[in-house]
């Protein structure tokens, strides 16, 4: 997983305003929405025992172990326009998205592909 400059800047800004210590941004996926899955994000006070830790552009990202195969190769961006500001996931494993943009369908990377470093 990588972050664009805009995403890294926004995460750092939000962490700087946190009243609690933040070890990193935990990202995962969960079942839900009309397309089947939703991305999850939360600030974590410490890394979980099995979290995959990725550091990019000065931001520590903790990937939930259940989400690793769904998020391989994903780039997180932050987009802002007149009507909304949001994090956007550019995920090569995403096969479709719902019309409202709140949920996605994601096919996990096969284990042997992940082990080969693809």
Domain ranges of the chain: 2-115
pLDDT band of 101, cuts 50, 70, 90 = low
Greatest distance between any 2 Cα atoms in the chain: 44
Class of domain 2-115: mainly beta
Confidence band, pLDDT 50/70/90 cuts, at residue 112: low
Q: What is the pLDDT of residues 11-56, one digit of tens each?
A: 999 999 999 999 999 999 998 777 778 889 999 999 999 999 999 9
Question: Rounded to an integer, what distance in angstroms lies between the CA atom of residue 89 and that of residue 37?
Answer: 13
CA 8 to chain centre: 12
Q: The pTM is what?
A: 0.80
């Amino acid at each position: 997983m990588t972050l664009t400059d805009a995403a890294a800047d926004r995460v750092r800004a939000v962490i700087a305003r946190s009243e609690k210590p933040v070890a990193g941004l935990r990202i995962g996926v969960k079942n839900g929405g009309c397309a089947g899955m939703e991305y999850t994000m939360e600030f974590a006070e410490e890394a979980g025992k099995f979290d995959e830790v990725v550091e990019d552009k000065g931001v520590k990202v903790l990937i939930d172990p259940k989400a690793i195969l769904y998020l391989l190769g994903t780039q997180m961006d932050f987009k802002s326009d007149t009507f909304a500001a949001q994090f956007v996931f550019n995920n090569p494993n995403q096969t479709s998205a719902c019309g409202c943009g709140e949920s996605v369908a994601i096919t996990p990377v096969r284990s042997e592909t992940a082990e080969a470093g693809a």
